[in-house]
Amino acid sequence: MTLTVLAVDDSRTIRDMLRLALTEVGIEVHLAEDGVDGLERLAELEPDAIISDINMPRLDGFGFIEAVRLQDRHRATPILVLTTESAPELKARARAAGATGWIVKPFDPPKLVQALRMVTG
């Protein structure tokens, strides 16, 4: 079974790195550049998991995660936060918003793939 992932990050470099790391192990990747773009793309997708940055223009990761969780069809979709932030209060806020897990940038591709397989497993 092919995993489908929506990755939301305002950094083109990170989006490119995610696409490369995930497509080379057979994961289908859809990219969005901020929370607003992510919600628009989510309307057309049924991803197995979502990866989201926190610090983004227009709609940050917390707002994006909360908006995703308000949608019945995505209430249980795993969401991994991928960010440079590591403060415990931000992790707690992300969990409260509905995040499933937290990965700090720069990410290790095999560990990211392993985390995705764990949460979608």
pLDDT tens string 31-80? 999 999 999 999 999 999 999 999 999 999 999 999 999 999 999 999 99
Query: What are the residue ranges spanned by the domains of the chain?
Result: 1-13+35-46+61-121
Inter-residue contact 31 to 21 (CB < 8 Å)? no
Inter-residue contact 5 to 46 (CB < 8 Å)? no
Residues with Cβ within 8 Å of residue 44, at least 6 apart in sequence: none
1-13+35-46+61-121 has which fold?
Answer: Rossmann fold (3.40.50)
What does pTM read for this prediction?
0.96
